[in-house]
Amino acid sequence: MEKKPDGLIFNIQRLSIVDGPGGRTSVFLKGCPLECRWCCNPESIDKSPEILLNDNKCTLLGNCINACPNNAIEIKNSKRTVNWKECDECLKCVDACSARGIEQVGYNSNVDQVIKTVMQDARYYKRSGGGITISGGEPLSQPEFTLSLFQEAKRRRVHTALDTCGYARWEIFDQILDYTDLLLYDLKHMDSAKHMEGTGVSNDLILDNLQKISKRTDVKVWIRFPLVFGYNDSDKHIKELCGFVKDLGGVVERISLLPYHNFGEPKYASVGREYQFPGTKILGQDRMEEIKKNIEAEGFNVTIGGGK
């Protein structure tokens, strides 16, 4: 029997209602080719396990200091600090901290283990129209694991949703789409230079893949549009986005508006990253409703948020 691939996961969330229709189990894979400046899960970006600091749990015992081979940790002024330039993510400090003041983000799991968790809520999927959503990070950065997980889900007649930024080779996409019922597809900016500015990569591959997807008849698409003040929320840009989506034809069932929030900002320092969007204005509800109505006027089904 062929061995199923392992995947690097940073979270499994049961009974989610924001990652597709119904109640779902969302499996979050680690690693993403984009580095969106507003990302609310900075611990999802790196492709390897890493440490995350929980200052509120730190007891200042100093066991982590003794465990660190690079002398990257110290206690100064009653506060534990990490010299991230010296840290090589060896994770020895995690084992040394019984208080969980330092935790590991990202662990290897196999398909059978994940499916076992997913199937715990199988009856709920049937009642609610839910299923499994693979998210991230970017699930297509671990294509073998994502494909195998979806194959196992479909064998059990579980609805599958793929939450993706779209930045992957078409050969990878095409194969996984054979086992995908719903595609949650991020569109962040229609202008390639602005997309590069906000995410670190061009949008050429992302838009090209979506155009190819539109020619398939076996998968439905929900466009997910993260709205960021001053970046992609202008009426002009929203008109351009609607025009592009119209040209895709009937494959797109809805556009989900995902308003920017800063809830993830405190996590950046916890994984040794610098938050790139300090002080960014959060769009008000009135403006969100105005944008929703403008897109609806173009003939689209529009929601605010990612669930039903």
Q: Rounded distance, CA 235 to CA 280, Å?
A: 19
pLDDT, average across residues 112-120: 96
pLDDT digits (tens, 9 = 90+) for 76-104: 999 999 999 999 999 999 999 999 999 99
pLDDT digits (tens, 9 = 90+) for 228-281: 999 999 999 999 999 999 999 889 999 999 998 888 888 999 999 999 888 788
User: Which option is the CATH number for 50-105: 3.40.50.300, 1.10.1240.10, 3.30.70.20, 3.20.20.70?
Assistant: 3.30.70.20
pLDDT of 73 reads 96
What CATH fold (topology level) applies to the domain 6-46+108-304?
A: TIM Barrel (3.20.20)
Answer whether 58's CB lies under 8 Å from 98's CB: no
Sign of CA dihedral 188, 193, 139, 8: negative
Read off the pLDDT band of 306 (50, 70, 90). Answer: low
pLDDT of 307 reads 58
Which residue would you say has higher pLDDT here, 225 or 266? 225
Q: At residue 274, what is the residue type?
A: E
Answer whether 110's CB lies under 8 Å from 6's CB: yes
pLDDT, average across residues 151-164: 97
Tokens 């959503």 sit on residue: 133
pLDDT, average across residues 46-62: 95
pLDDT of 2 reads 65
Distance from chain centroid for Cα 132:
14
Domains in the chain: boundaries: 6-46+108-304, 50-105
Give per-residue burial for 180-219: e unless 16+ CB within 10 Å, then b: bbbbbbbbbbbeeeebeebbebebebbbebbeebbebeeb
Read off the pLDDT band of 308 (50, 70, 90). Answer: low
Backbone angles phi, psi at 79, to 5 degrees: -145, 135
Q: Where are the alpha helices (DSSP H) in the chain?
A: 63-67, 92-96, 111-118, 122-128, 143-155, 170-177, 192-199, 204-213, 235-247, 265-270, 285-296
Q: Flag whether pLDDT at 200 surpasses 90.
A: yes
pLDDT of 1 reads 54
**What is the rounded average pLDDT for all residues in the chain?**
94
Q: Are strands 50-53 and 73-76 parallel, antiparallel or unpaired?
A: unpaired
Quote the tokens at residue 161: 């949703």
pLDDT of 141 reads 97
Give the whole-number percent of the chain exceeding pLDDT 90.
87
pLDDT of 263 reads 84
Question: 128-142, 153-167, 177-191, 264-278 — which is least confidently predicted?
Answer: 264-278
Q: Flag whether pLDDT at 166 surpasses 70.
A: yes
